Structure 1
């Protein structure tokens, strides 16, 4: 097999495999280097398996509240082993699908760990299989016999897409037993009766929501004054109210100062606002304090590739300061989201091809959290819009005025839109409630098309749908709301 490529991608996660497929479509001879499993963290330990777990929790929630829909179900229960098994099967199916796409697009998959050994176009990439980090693939997706592995490969362009890993705080290092990261939280051997979640970003809140719905006593500890810190304050407040109504305990302005592991669980010392302290006890603690880019061991420092805050520094097209080396996805900085990585990969490859493409607009990247209720957003929060100097018009519409939401038995929620008062430009949209992660794309498209309030006001939304809350929030911003 030939060992020279037009484009070689290091990392087979969402950013990496999408970049590789697009490269192959454009006629580039392409390869992907992957050390563990195609699909990366997203398909194996992140986006996909967590959604499978959350779906099981959602069904369990409906079963427990069947009487609210005129139905009768006697004492619903679950088997954690079966819940986890389903999640892993979903993950395995999709990972197998990525392998099929590599074969379909004639992309070579090289199994091992890659290191750049020379700067500039055509520089060799060494691939090794270490004893401690040999490829580990899900049983249902074994490495095919005869595939490429350890060796030296050359490529005109190298795209680094090595993703990220859980951030570890000194003194609170995960041990896989009492202190978990999302790896362990994804595959519990049994349902813990109690747990503490450190961090209230998307990962922390999703696991808190899952375990609480399944019956665990859950406490969330957040360092900042607001849970889900990147979200609009008003939306986060509504979400918090619903979480607490479900029995989730939340401490904000609180720092985990010390964690002591014992035979039966963990004892956590928490410092709260005003210098007060509190002691919490639980069977497990989930550390969800963010992630950090996988930049080590790639040869970047030796080649002079610039990094910033633990991530590779790039321009709007994935290009680094070193000719022929690019970076996309989590390793290239926030927001660390799979769909951002995919889009970044496509932009990077098309730019290499010489196509007329626009740089990534981070303000148009949506964020979604699949808790109960769901949260989704795009663009500026109200506070950020004002900080940027905009005079704003803000529209709000609550789900209790929407017929579909009431029929679903999900009347708690809100759609919020933020416009520039002078131009009518849509600056941001923020939603909390049922299925809002499916609704947000409407506002993403609107922002991408530079839609103003006038087009949105005169758009005919279908009835009865949850999407009508989006329309009504726009109407509300301009004093035209109908159902409120």
Structure 2
């Protein structure tokens, strides 16, 4: 086998393996280097297995409310080990699927850690090591860095795998903690809080910002806060946590807010305070690749400052989402192949949170649109006025739209409630297709569906909602 390829991809996550597949489709001879699990953190220890956990928790919650649907069952219970086993099985199945796709596409895979090792003429050299020993050295004129990220560690809040968990430990608990502290209220923290609360844990959330879900529209954030408190969670915002005092099987700490100090003792702590890009030991020394706060700087086509070196996904710029990484992989490879892809439009990338209730959004929030100088028209429609949501027993939620009052452009859309992560794509298509209020008003939505709230929220922005 020749050691010369058209493209080497370092990292087999949702950005890296998609880039490799697309490059193969375009006729490139591709090598993919992955050190741990094909499919990356997302497929093995993130996006996919957490959704399996949340699905189990959702079903268990529904079992506890069967009487509301005219049904009954004797003392519903759960088997934590079986829930975790199912989650791991789903991840394993999807990982095998990725491996099959790469084999089918004739992508050459290397098991090991890849790093840049200088140049050989026009090609970049990539050294591959396993267990500290070099197992191969390959070359290519183009190298994509798709090494992802890991959880951020803060002084005094470091994860230890036993009492203070990161995402991996939170996904594979051997016992269910009765009392849980979640530090951080982004998507990861909120999803774990939702999962453990549905299984009966006493959950406390501590967020340093003045509200939870800081990347979401403030109105949606406030509604989520109320919904989580209604479920029995305790939420502290503007909170400073620490230090953590560890006992034999519990952790004590103090949470300080503007309202005062709260002493808290819990069985486990989940630390979900952001991510750090995996830029170490990539051989970037001596290159023109620039790193800013652990993330590699790129242009609109994922090119770094070093010719022939690219970066995609969580190791590069935000938003740090799997679907953004995959799309970057496609854009990057198509540009390399000589095609003319559209650059990534970050504001057209949807964000989804799979808690109960779900949260989904795309584009600008109302406050950000106003801060950028837009005169806006805002529409809101509650799930309580939607027949399908009421029939499903899911009347809590809202769809919100933000339009440019002068042009009719859909600046942003924000949703909270049942299955909104499946519906947000309608607004994403509208933004990608540059549709305006006129086209959205003329769109016919099927009845009865919760998606009708999307139409009504558009009409509401122009005082034309029909069912409120």
Write the deviation string for residues 426-449 of structure 1: whole angstroms up to 9, x where unpaired: 000000000000000000000001
Does the CA contact (< 8 Å) of 1:121 and 1:324 recur in 2? no
Residue 480, structure 1, aligned to residue 464, structure 2: yes
Q: Is the 8 A contact 2:156 2:242 kept in 1?
A: no
What is the SS of the residue equivalent to 2:6?
strand
Deviations 1:7-56 (A, max 9, x none): 10000000000000000000000010000010000000000000000000
TM-score (norm 2): 0.98
- Structure 2: distance between partners of 1:361 and 1:192: 42
Deviations 1:258-285 (A, max 9, x none): 11111131001212126x3221110000
Alpha-carbon shift at residue 240 of structure 1 (Å): 1.1
Matches within 5 A, 1:380-391: 380-391=364-375
- Structure-to-structure mapping, 1:215-234, within 5 angstroms: 215-234=200-219
Which of 275, 298, 311 is the matching residue for 1:314? 298
Deviation for aligned residue 1:368: 0.2
Q: 1:99 and 1:105 mapped to 2: Cα distance?
A: 10
Alpha-carbon distance in 1 for matches of 2:305, 2:428: 31
Which residue of structure 2 aligns with residue 403 of structure 1? Answer: 387
Describe how 1:284-363 pairs up with structure 2 within 5 A. 284-363=268-347
Distance 1:172 1:415 in 2: 36
What are the equivalent positions in structure 2 for 1:192-231 lying under 5 Å apart?
192-231=177-216
Runs of 4+ in structure 1 off by over 2 angstroms are none
Are the aligned partners of 1:174 and 1:180 in contact in 2 as well (CA < 8 Å)? yes
- Give the equivalent residue in structure 2 for 1:450: 434
> Once the 2 structures are TM-superposed, how far is the Cα of residue 150 of structure 1 from its aligned partner?
1.5
Matched, 1:188 2:188: no
Alpha-carbon separation, structure 1, partners of 2:78 and 2:165: 22
Q: Give the Cα–Cα distance (whole angstroms) in 2 for the partners of residues 435 and 39 of structure 1.
A: 25
Query: Could you say what secondary structure the match of 1:191 adopts?
Result: coil
Aligned-pair CA distance for 1:130: 2.3
**Deviations 1:370-424 (Å, cap 9, x if unpaired)?**
0000000000000000001000000000000000000000000000000000000
Deviations 1:62-86 (A, max 9, x none): 0011111100011100010000000
Partner Cα separation in structure 2 for residue 312 and residue 221 of structure 1:
30
Query: Which residue number corresponds to residue 44 of structure 2?
Result: 44
Shift of 1:333: 2.1
CA RMSD of aligned residues (A): 1.1
* 1:302 positional shift: 2.9
- Gaps of at least 5 residues in structure 2 are none
Show structure 1 runs of 5+ residues with no match.
135-148
Whole-angstrom CA distance in 2 between matches of 1:257 and 1:58: 32
Partner of 1:301, secondary structure, is: coil
The reply on whether 1:177 has 2:178 as its aligned counterpart is: no
Deviations 1:233-290, CA, capped at 9 Å, x for gaps: 101111111111111111111111311111131001212126x322111000000001
Q: Which residue of 2 aligns with 1:130?
A: 131
CA offset at residue 121 of structure 1? 4.2
2:353 to 347, 363, 369: 369
Q: Could you tell me which residue of structure 2 aligns to residue 66 of structure 1?
A: 66
Number of the residue aligned with 1:143: none
1:103 corresponding residue in structure 2:
103
Task: Give, in angstroms, the shift of residue 313 of structure 1.
Answer: 0.2
1:118 offset after TM fit, Å? 1.4
CA contact (8 A) 2:279 2:315 kept: yes
Contact 1:293–1:333 at 8 Å: present in 2 too?
Answer: no
**Counterpart-to-counterpart distance in 2, 1:77 and 1:36:** 35
Q: Check whether the contact 2:157–2:242 (CA below 8 A) recurs between aligned residues.
A: no
Aligned match of 1:91: 91
Describe the SS at the equivalent of 2:285.
Answer: helix
Distance in 2 of aligned mates of 1:238 and 1:194: 24
Please give the alpha-carbon distance, in whole angstroms, between the structure 2 residues aligned to 1:305 and 1:460: 49
Match of 1:139? none
- Identify the residue that residue 158 of structure 1 maps to in structure 2: 143
Q: Deviation digits for residues 194-230 of structure 1, max 9, x if unmatched?
A: 1100000000000000000000010000001110110
How big is each residue's C-alpha offset from its partner over 1:113-142, in whole Å with a ceiling of 9 and x where there is no partner? 1110115841211001125xx9xxxxxxxx
